[in-house]
Amino acid sequence: MLSEASLLSTAFQAIVSRHQHNHPEGERRASVIRTRKITGQLDAIERMLSEDQDCAEILTQIVSARRGLKSLAEKLIHSHVQHCIENAQNPAEGKRKLRELLTVLERYVE
């Protein structure tokens, strides 16, 4: 059975492979490394819960995972604007990508 962290990592990889863009290799590697760290944090939270560890320690891990997700999201938003919207092949594609971003941001801030 896959953990939530594994599902997150798998979903991220599926998105990256389905929508190939020309993002710099270093930026992609950094995003994958961030995702793996978040996955490790979520796995640690799951383990701590199953071991009935101290609530404050579990909450500390949750805060760290949330910060990691927030940081990853901010990097991806910036990257999307810089690489996908600004470098769109034509104005129509740029507008489409901007609408997609706005739709995602509406969900992000809820």
Q: What is the pTM of this model?
A: 0.69
**What is the extent of the structural domain holding 20?**
4-108
The secondary structure of the chain as a DSSP string is: ---HHHHHHHHHHHHHHHS-----HHHHHHHHHHHHHHHHHHHHHHHHHHTT--HHHHHHHHHHHHHHHHHHHHHHHHHIIIIIITT-SSHHHHHHHHHHHHHHHHHHT-
Report the domain count for the chain: 1
**Better pLDDT: 88 or 19:** 88
Among 67, 65, 22, CA closest to 42? 65
Buried/exposed code over 95-109 (b: 16+ C-beta within 10 A; e: otherwise): eebeeebeeeeeeee
Q: Taking all residues of the chain, what is their mean pLDDT, rounded to a whole number?
A: 85
pLDDT in tens, 54-93: 999 999 999 999 999 999 999 999 988 888 888 888 899 9
pLDDT at 21 over 90: no
pLDDT band at 10 (very low <50, low <70, confident <90, very high): low
CATH for 34: 1.20.58.1000
pLDDT for position 40: 96
